[in-house]
Amino acid sequence: MINFNAKSLIPKCEEFGLVLTAEAADRLEAYGNLLLEWNEKFNLTAITEPGEVLYKHFYDCLLFFSAADVKNGAKIIDVGAGAGFPSVVLKIARTDIDITMLDSLNKRVTFLNEVLKRLCLSGKALHMRAEEAGTDEKYREKFDIACARAVANLNVLSEYCAPFVKPGGEFVAMKGGEAETEAAGALNAFKVLGLEKPRIIFKNLRENEKRSFVIAKKISQTPPKYPRNSAKIKKAAL
């Protein structure tokens, strides 16, 4: 078993008001070991060195709570969940969250289901494309937060995510340290999709490493024509 030193994150999380328990830290350790075990077969992450996993995956996702207002029992959908960042980390830290993980690749969904099972966590892993799930009445405008981590440019990503957010909820995109230009180029998309002008919150991951959270409140329903199919989204982004 690899030691990721997850308990070292407990005092760092206290700095922004998140109580990361010893049990949660142990679950992060188990998650990291599952990730590296499955990564040998399925190429889930390029980040494999324990110290890098600790910060660039675990702490990076825990910073979500320092930027977004995650209410007790919040319904969150992770669009393009991949190996479970940020969704699995959010659920480990806050088991009250109702988490749904959406990914178009079945091997990732299989991994996510195994993580939920092995870590004794509740949640749903859906094998669907975002543009299909976004038109399904079971998922459309049913979530308090739709989040995504480094999936696509904001003018594209917002069309995939906004349809999941109920009015009054939020779209949260996790980006690198420079998000202003990208956000400025997505203002029309946000407006068309029923999102307010986003606010950008910057956080320090480590020295000289920054993370930004682009957060936009849903102020009106997304028009029924969105999301379009992926070919149209990529060809003519909003």
pLDDT the model gives residue 178 = 79
pLDDT tier for residue 207 given thresholds of 50, 70 and 90: confident
Cis peptide leading into 11, omega within 30 of 0?
no
Kindly report, residue by residue over 16-46, the tens digit of the pLDDT.
999 999 999 999 999 999 999 999 998 899 9
Neighbour count for residue 160 (Cβ, 10 Å): 25
pLDDT tier for residue 151 given thresholds of 50, 70 and 90: confident
- 181 half-sphere exposure, CB direction, 13 A CA radius: 3
Average pLDDT over residues 186-196: 97
Per mean pLDDT, which range of 94-108, 174-188, 218-232 is the poorest? 174-188
Average pLDDT over residues 204-219: 92
In whole angstroms, what is the distance from residue 162 CA to residue 140 CA?
9
Residue-averaged pLDDT of the chain: 96
Average pLDDT over residues 112-119: 97
212 φ, ψ (degrees, to nearest 5) = -125, 145
Is pLDDT at 49 greater than 80 in this prediction?
A: yes
Residues in Cβ contact with 236 at an 8 Å cutoff, skipping those fewer than 6 apart = none
Q: Sketch the domain layout of the chain as residue ranges.
A: 71-235
Q: Does domain 71-235 have CATH number 3.40.190.10?
A: no
Written as six digits, the tokens of 99 are 């988490």
Kindly report, residue by residue over 54-92, the tens digit of the pLDDT.
999 999 999 999 999 999 999 999 999 999 999 999 999
pLDDT the model gives residue 136 = 97
Q: Length of the chain in residues, anyone?
A: 238
pLDDT the model gives residue 226 = 97
In whole angstroms, what is the distance from residue 229 CA to residue 213 CA?
26
Average pLDDT over residues 126-152: 95
pLDDT the model gives residue 109 = 97
pLDDT the model gives residue 176 = 86
Which residue did the predictor score with more confidence, 125 or 207?
125
